[in-house]
């Protein structure tokens, strides 16, 4: 085996890239697996075979064309997990429309920004969910819709938007019902096939807005080639086949659900199972049991919530074999419990970012256990990776901490209509700069050590929050822990930890400090310790440390005044 000296590696190229559009490749999968179930949406009581899903997608594609939409136009989707989401993903791809994913947590100002930034001509939206009335939010931006002919909206604040399609069954003035729109489509429309034949794999297919924690969200423009191949290789890494059934509780508006979930399954003839419209641990456990799922995706906090649920042991999960854990670092102890208690002995870790469609690193089902729990695996096929000095750009020797950079087919075309921000992220040589600190070993395995921006500098000492989190996970009464830096007058920054105790456990600050004393350096012991029921999080499962920091700094400043 060749060993690396510099922190540079290249993925395997023995399996060629798929040089087809999503629509063409999906139709080929349908022809190969006509008897397979494609989708089970548990909460909707919907089941589609691959041919049925194809028919639904073709019919919606035809209907979207009837609205006057043309290849290259943008169509927004503002919804939780449901069959219509998947159908829309396929339908838009088949006729060259660019699907724009909107987070269901968006409110009016965020929706207005995203719709106008991407110049969406049509929006497919939830009508309501829990306490949120989505149609009323749309009305607040476009009151003109109440008197508009459906499909011919002209709104001052939303100048590009023409049609709003709602997923509910109520008839609402100005809105088009999704079911009515689909009914108008022709599943055998020759225009769908004709347009599909003119599309190219490098055409943009999707815009995903980043979280925008440091300013306005940026829309990453992803291609057929990027999404299709990334989904395929993600599925290959967990050995998906047409006999597998993949449970997807992660949100579809995010790359995890849409690519790591939907595309990994559809490129292998695998059955997709949606347990619910949003994450609920019991729904996941029930779906795995009832549908005999062999694979399960999730972010670490989802797996923790499932494992620690009081009813966990009521469910038969023995059908599980594999799945992908991603979104944030997985504590070692959690990985061991997933393998042991959920029977997912072939679970893998994936790493990436929206801008790389998303995965660039992944372990495999036969990655040694110690590597599977301590690294993000090796670089994906047909991609290159390197770890550099963030200041000089020089490639670092193996074992040295630096910034992880990636190059290859999966990179976004750029941030939509934002060349300046694109240039700040992708350099002149085509490398995307992740902002993550990492090390690479001689075999090419990479370990993420933190974020460049998350590194805490206390009195001149660089401290990795990840290192302290991993240590705290060893405490038997700690379910989860997140470490941040907060402003401090004396040291510049001080350490703060938020801790979620295990159910029934009692902990206090002295317990935590005693656990750390003599085990980690004194300067690494958090000064501020807060016990919480959970963390502020995005719907895609990422902890919003900036919100934690804001809360603590507000309290901290009051405390020191």
Q: What is the pLDDT of residue 560?
A: 36
- Whether omega before 425 lies within 30 degrees of 0, making that bond cis, reads no
Decide: helix, strand or coil at residue 537. strand
DSSP 376: -
Distance of alpha carbon 552 from alpha carbon 533, whole angstroms: 16
Contacts 24+ apart (CB under 8 A), 207-211: 207/74, 207/98, 207/99, 207/100, 207/101, 207/118, 207/416, 208/101, 208/253, 208/254, 208/255, 208/354, 209/100, 209/101, 209/102, 209/103, 209/114, 209/117, 210/354, 210/355, 211/538, 211/542, 211/544
Q: What is the pLDDT of residue 451?
A: 75
Q: Tell me the sheet residues that pair with 426.
A: 432
Q: What is the pLDDT of residue 497?
A: 96
Decide: helix, strand or coil at residue 40. strand
Q: Which helix (H) or strand (E) holds 483?
A: strand 478-488
Q: Tell me the sheet residues that pair with 244.
A: none
* Of 155, 154, 173, 151, nearest in space to 164 by CA: 151
Distance of alpha carbon 92 from alpha carbon 260, whole angstroms: 19
| pTM, two decimal places | 0.86
Domains defined for the chain, CATH in brackets: 52-209 (3.40.50.980), 456-560 (3.30.300.30)
Distance of alpha carbon 51 from alpha carbon 64, whole angstroms: 20
Half-sphere exposure of 542 (CA within 13 A, CB side): 20
459-494 confidence digits (pLDDT tens) = 667 787 888 888 898 899 999 999 999 988 777 788
* Of 150, 203, 154, 141, nearest in space to 174 by CA: 150
43-80 confidence digits (pLDDT tens) = 999 999 999 999 999 999 999 999 999 999 999 999 99
Task: Flag residues of the chain having pLDDT under 50.
Answer: 212-214, 558-561
Q: In what order do the strands lie in the sheet with 245-247?
A: 46-49, 37-41, 271-274, 245-247, 295-296, 322-325, 346-352, 359-362, 378-379
Q: What is the pLDDT of residue 265?
A: 98
* Of 214, 131, 81, 208, nearest in space to 544 by CA: 214
360-377 confidence digits (pLDDT tens) = 999 999 998 788 888 999
Q: What is the pLDDT of residue 211?
A: 58
């Amino acid at each position: 085996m060749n060993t690396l000296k510099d922190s540079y590696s290249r993925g395997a190229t023995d399996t060629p890239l798929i040089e087809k559009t999503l629509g063409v490749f999906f139709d080929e999968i349908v022809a190969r697996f006509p008897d397979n179930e494609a989708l089970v949406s548990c909460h909707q009581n919907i089941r589609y075979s691959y041919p049925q899903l194809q028919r639904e997608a073709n019919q919606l594609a035809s209907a979207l064309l009837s609205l006057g939409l043309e290849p290259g136009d943008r169509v927004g989707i503002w919804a939780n997990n449901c069959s219509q989401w998947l159908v829309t993903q396929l339908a838009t791809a088949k006729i060259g429309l660019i699907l724009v994913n909107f987070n269901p947590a968006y409110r009016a100002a965020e929706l207005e920004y995203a719709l106008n930034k991407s110049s969406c001509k049509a929006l497919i939206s939830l009508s309501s969910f829990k306490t949120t009335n989505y149609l009323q939010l749309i009305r607040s931006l476009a009151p003109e819709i109440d008197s508009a002919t459906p499909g011919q909206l002209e709104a001052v604040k939303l100048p590009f938007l023409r049609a709003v399609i709602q997923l509910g069954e109520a008839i609402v003035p100005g809105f088009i019902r999704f079911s009515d729109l689909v009914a108008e489509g022709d599943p055998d429309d020759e225009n769908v096939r004709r347009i599909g034949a003119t599309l190219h794999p490098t055409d943009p297919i999707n815009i995903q807005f980043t979280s925008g924690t440091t300013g306005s969200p940026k829309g990453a423009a992803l291609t057929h080639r990027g999404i299709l191949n990334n989904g395929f290789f993600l599925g290959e890494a967990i050995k998906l086949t047409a006999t597998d059934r993949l449970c997807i509780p992660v949100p579809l508006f995010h790359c995890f659900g849409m690519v790591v979930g939907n595309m990994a399954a559809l490129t292998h003839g695998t059955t997709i199972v949606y347990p619910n419209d949003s994450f609920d641990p019991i729904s996941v456990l029930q779906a795995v049991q009832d549908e005999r799922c062999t694979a399960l995706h999730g972010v670490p906090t989802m797996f923790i919530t499932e494992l620690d649920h009081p009813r966990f042991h009521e469910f038969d999960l023995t059908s599980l074999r594999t799945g992908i854990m991603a979104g944030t670092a997985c504590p070692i102890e959690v990985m061991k419990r997933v393998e042991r208690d959920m029977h997912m002995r072939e679970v893998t870790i994936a790493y990436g970012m929206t801008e790389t469609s998303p995965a660039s690193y992944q372990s495999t089902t036969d990655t040694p256990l110690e590597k599977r729990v301590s690294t993000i695996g090796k670089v994906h096929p047909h991609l290159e990776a390197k770890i550099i000095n963030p200041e000089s750009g020089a490639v670092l020797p193996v074992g040295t901490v630096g910034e992880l950079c990636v190059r290859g087919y999966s990179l976004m075309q750029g941030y939509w209509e934002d060349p300046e921000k694109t240039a700040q992220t992708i350099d002149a040589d085509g490398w995307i700069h992740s902002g993550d600190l990492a090390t690479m070993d001689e075999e090419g395995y990479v370990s993420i050590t933190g974020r460049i921006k998350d590194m805490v500098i206390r009195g001149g000492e660089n401290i990795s929050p990840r290192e302290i989190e991993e240590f705290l996970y060893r405490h038997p009464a700690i379910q989860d822990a997140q470490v941040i830096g907060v402003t401090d007058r004396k040291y510049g920054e001080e350490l703060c930890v938020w801790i979620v105790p295990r159910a029934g456990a009692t902990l206090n600050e002295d317990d935590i400090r005693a656990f750390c004393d003599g085990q980690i350096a004194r300067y690494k012991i958090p000064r501020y310790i807060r016990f919480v029921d959970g963390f502020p999080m995005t719907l895609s499962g990422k902890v919003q440390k900036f919100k934690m920091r804001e809360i603590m700094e507000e309290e901290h400043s009051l405390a020191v005044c």
